[in-house]
């Protein structure tokens, strides 16, 4: 049977080369008992390939069972696939045959095979290699002769790397891999599929068939279709039922197409060394600037000799500044435009030397500790009033007392 005959028999629409190639491989592998793994994005119609393989094989008169591995709870999937004995688990009131026993001589389609638990993967590997399995709760080995076709929309190499799927099972399942292309790579087929669905829904709902204008066809063929054929079918059905006009233009079609996500990769510079150095420069110079401003404020309040007694208002201003300047604030300023912003200049050197002189003559930590002591002594250890005097919260004052090991 050639590709065109297969399309007519199974209702497959399209002439894209990638689709034709997938069908050719399915026809060639069907007479054998080789395991097949069908890959492709969700909604591309992967379920049709196992049906083609089964119907064109010598097993076509045997059972064909499709199993959605992602829809069966992990605790019961072994029982579903391999059966169980009476009393094997709570609720097992009798023995039961599993799919592999029922489908003996036929074909099992394991959809979403990447969702199988690791324990089930081990059992499946044994069936593929020896044709043997054991029911849950039994010790008796049962033989079966089943053709396995699996499908997944996941990247199996990534699943293997993450430890989610066994590598040996992957190679056993994918003796012959078949890949179905996404709809966006079948642009020449999109309008054909649209017209097929439009005719089907026109007959189903007993109404005239919808048709696309030229601009709508262009929009249809250039949309990305993240949901592939399944998404296209749903949209055709919506338009067929909702729209009163049977001629659909691009403006009407746009209302039914979700906004496309921008999946383009972000541009990341490879010059990571320069970026890290630039960030470090920024951090250091911003820290220098903030410390300089802080120390200038202290000098204005205290006096260069450090002997001036502070008023309560001055204490409040100083401690509020201590609370407002946080390390996280240093990272929120804009990056300098280039590394040239940090070139040496005499003016910067003079400013730097002035700051170093202040550092030698003043310890902010000791000054803050002294201020807290004075406030506590003035208010006889009452933190509430001392905190108000310092212009900080009582919680902050408590933290400072613990930090400097002060007693109130």
What are 55-78's pLDDT values in tens digits?
A: 999 999 999 999 999 999 988 999
Output the pTM of the full model: 0.63
In total, how many domains does the chain have?
3
pLDDT, tens digit, 9 for 90 and up, residues 306-339? 555 556 666 665 565 555 554 444 444 444 444 4
267 in any annotated domain: no
Q: Rounded to whole angstroms, how far apart are CA atoms 20 and 397?
A: 76
Domain boundary among 181, 199, 220: 181
CA 176 to chain centre: 29
Over the chain, what is the mean pLDDT? 82
> Which sign does the torsion angle of CA 394, 396, 402, 406 carry?
negative
Rounded to whole angstroms, what are the CA distances from 149 to 110, 111, 113? 6, 8, 10
Dmax (CA) of the chain: 103
What's the pLDDT score for residue 351? Answer: 43
Q: Give pLDDT, residue 153.
A: 95
Which CATH number is 160's domain given? 3.40.50.300
Are the CB atoms for 117 and 82 separated by under 8 Å? no
CATH of the domain at 234: 1.10.8.60
Last residue of a domain, one of 199, 222, 254: 254
Contacts 24+ apart (CB under 8 A), 258-265: 260/223, 260/224, 260/226, 261/226
367 and 383 both lie in a single domain: yes
Q: Is residue 375 part of a domain?
A: yes
* Residues 80 and 206 grouped into a single domain: no
Does the pLDDT value for residue 305 go beyond 80? no
Last residue of a domain, one of 150, 181, 212: 181
Tell me the pLDDT tens digit for each residue of 260-276: 665 444 444 444 444 55
What confidence tens digit (pLDDT) does each residue in 170-185 have?
999 999 999 999 999 9
Q: Report residue 238 as tokens.
A: 């919506």
pLDDT one-digit tens code per residue, 123-171 = 999 999 999 999 999 999 999 999 999 999 999 999 999 999 999 999 9
Q: Are 373 and 381 in contact (CB under 8 A)?
A: no
């Amino acid at each position: 049977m050639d590709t065109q005959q297969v399309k007519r028999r199974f209702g497959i629409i399209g002439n894209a080369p990638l689709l034709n190639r997938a069908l050719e491989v399915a026809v060639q592998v069907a007479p054998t008992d080789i395991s097949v793994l069908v890959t492709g994005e969700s909604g591309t119609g992967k379920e049709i390939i196992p049906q083609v393989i089964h119907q064109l094989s010598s097993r076509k008169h045997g059972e064909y069972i499709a199993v959605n591995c992602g829809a069966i709870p992990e605790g019961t999937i072994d029982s579903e696939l391999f059966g169980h004995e009476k009393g094997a688990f709570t609720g097992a009131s009798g023995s039961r045959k599993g799919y592999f026993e029922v489908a003996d001589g036929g074909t099992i389609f394991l959809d979403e095979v990447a969702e199988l638990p690791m324990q089930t993967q081990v059992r499946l590997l044994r069936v593929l290699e020896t044709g043997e399995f054991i029911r849950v709760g039994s010790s008796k080995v049962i033989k079966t002769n089943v053709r396995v076709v699996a499908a997944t929309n996941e990247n199996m190499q990534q699943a293997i790397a993450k430890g989610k799927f066994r590598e040996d099972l992957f190679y056993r399942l994918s003796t012959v891999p078949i890949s179905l292309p996404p709809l966006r790579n079948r642009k020449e087929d999109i309008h054909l599929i649209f017209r097929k669905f439009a005719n089907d829904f026109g007959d189903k709902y007993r109404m005239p068939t919808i048709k696309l204008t030229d601009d709508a066809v262009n929009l249809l063929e250039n949309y990305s279709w993240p949901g592939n054929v399944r998404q296209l079918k749903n949209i055709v059905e919506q338009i067929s039922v909702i729209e009163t006009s049977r001629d659909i233009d691009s403006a009407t079609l746009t209302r039914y197409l979700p906004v496309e996500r921008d999946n383009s990769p972000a541009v990341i510079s490879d010059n990571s060394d320069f970026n890290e150095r630039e960030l470090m420069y920024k951090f250091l110079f911003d820290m220098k600037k903030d410390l300089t401003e802080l120390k200038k404020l202290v000098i204005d309040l205290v006096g260069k000799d450090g002997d001036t007694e502070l008023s309560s208002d001055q204490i409040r201003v100083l401690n509020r500044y201590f609370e407002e300047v946080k390390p996280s604030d240093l990272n929120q300023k804009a990056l300098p435009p280039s590394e040239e912003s940090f070139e040496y200049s005499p003016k910067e050197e003079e400013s730097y030397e002035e700051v170093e002189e202040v550092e030698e003559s003043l310890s902010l930590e000791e000054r803050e500790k002294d201020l807290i002591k004075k406030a506590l002594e003035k208010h006889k250890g009452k933190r509430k009033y001392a905190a108000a005097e310092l212009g900080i919260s009582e919680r902050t004052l408590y933290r400072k007392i613990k930090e400097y090991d002060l007693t109130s």
